[in-house]
Structure 1
Amino acid sequence: MKFAAITATVLAAFAPLAFANEKAPASAKVDVQEYQYGMQLDIDQVLQRTDNSRKNGVVPSVLVYRDSQGDVHAVRFMEWGGLSSQNG
């Protein structure tokens, strides 16, 4: 039992180092742009997206992404939530 506790402590201590080489994590402070129809987005990798699966109707959403140059951007847009209205 001591061995398991020591192993867990050592792994927990070194876990942040595994992510040290990541460039600009999704939680980094980024200016959010409002999406305009026809706007060209250079999305290489999606880092974070608002989860609207439990919301109803048209709701705001934010997409944080990395472009092909490695820069991080965020864009806000409106989308339908994941819940449909149920008559019951």
Structure 2
Amino acid sequence: MKLLLVLFLGCLGSVAMADDQFAQTAQIPVEPYRYAQNLDIARVVAVTPAPNVCDVVPMQLTYDDSKGDRHIMEYRVIGNGCSNN
């Protein structure tokens, strides 16, 4: 019974931590990428996957800089749906 209680409290704590991380990421303003911008990227946290379309699509890169501050940068790429057949 004690093991079940410890397992339940551990799961509850991890859900609360994940919710807190999501809330912190949701408050970060999205910065547009500018050509030839100097980037201070110490650690990449997340990159949105490119959709399977043949069009220019927005992507987001979430990263931590060398000071430990989190940033979200938006840039544009060609989707993965184009082919040269």
TM-score range, shorter chain: 0.5 to 0.7
TM-score by length of 2: 0.68
- Percent identical among aligned pairs is 29
Aligned length: 82
How big is the alpha-carbon RMSD for the aligned residues of Structure 1 and Structure 2? 3.3
Query: What's the counterpart of residue 54 of structure 2?
Result: 56
| SS of residue matched to 2:25 | coil
| SS of residue matched to 2:26 | coil
Q: Which runs of 5 or more residues in structure 1 are unaligned? A: none
TM-score by length of 1: 0.66
4+ long deviations beyond 6 Å? none
Query: What's the counterpart of residue 70 of structure 2?
Result: 72
Distance 1:50 1:35 in 2: 15
Return closer, same or farther for 1:9/1:86 CA change in 2, 3 Å cut-off.
farther
The residue identity in structure 1 corresponding to 2:66 is S
